[in-house]
Amino acid sequence: MARKKERKAYKPKLNYKKQEPSYLIISAAITIILLAGLIVKIVFFPANIPVSSTEILETSSRIEGSIDEQVKRIASNFSCACGGCGELPLVECTCDMPRGAQEEKAFIRNKLMEGFATDNIIRLVEKKYGYRIT
């Protein structure tokens, strides 16, 4: 008896190459992500940037004005610590003696510009100079 040849089932050969993403697709994806981030920044965090030099001057004078007001508000809690001016209220005193009104007000102004909170500045001034009005 002759042996019959077994037939193998036809299996087509599939030559799928693994395709790597092109640089164009990668750069487009990065661009889309960056644009989305920029849109989020513009929508949720708008910048109030002064445009002209006069706006810059107005903004800086408003900041300085508000700092001067805060210095006066904090200084109203203290008497002058120099001892030579009869312990005038710090807001009214202008003496330039050591540990005097100008030094104390400069200390307060510096702390405000460093970003300290009002309560913290009051405690710092009381600790350094004393003479708090109660």
Quote the pLDDT of residue 32: 95
CB hemisphere CA count around 47 (13 angstroms): 8
Say how far apart CA 37 and CA 44 lie, in whole Å: 11
Mean pLDDT of 36-61: 68
For residue 31, pLDDT over 90 is answered with yes
Say how far apart CA 14 and CA 92 lie, in whole Å: 93
pTM of the complete model: 0.50
Say how far apart CA 28 and CA 49 lie, in whole Å: 31
Local confidence band at 55 (pLDDT 50, 70, 90 cut-offs): low
Mean pLDDT of 20-35: 87
- The per-residue DSSP string of 24-53 comes to HHHHHHHHHHHHHHHHHHHHHS------SH
Given the structure tokens 């003479």, which residue do they identify?
131
Say how far apart CA 47 and CA 86 lie, in whole Å: 49
Residue pair 90/126 in contact by the 8 Å Cβ criterion: no
Quote the pLDDT of residue 30: 93
Each domain of the chain, given as residue ranges in start order, spans 53-128
Quote the pLDDT of residue 73: 85
pLDDT tens readout for residues 42-53: 888 776 655 555
pLDDT tens readout for residues 69-125: 888 888 888 777 777 776 777 778 777 777 777 888 888 888 888 888 888 888 888
Quote the pLDDT of residue 131: 66
Q: For 14, list phi and psi in degrees, rounded to 5.
A: -105, 120
122: three-class secondary structure by DSSP: helix
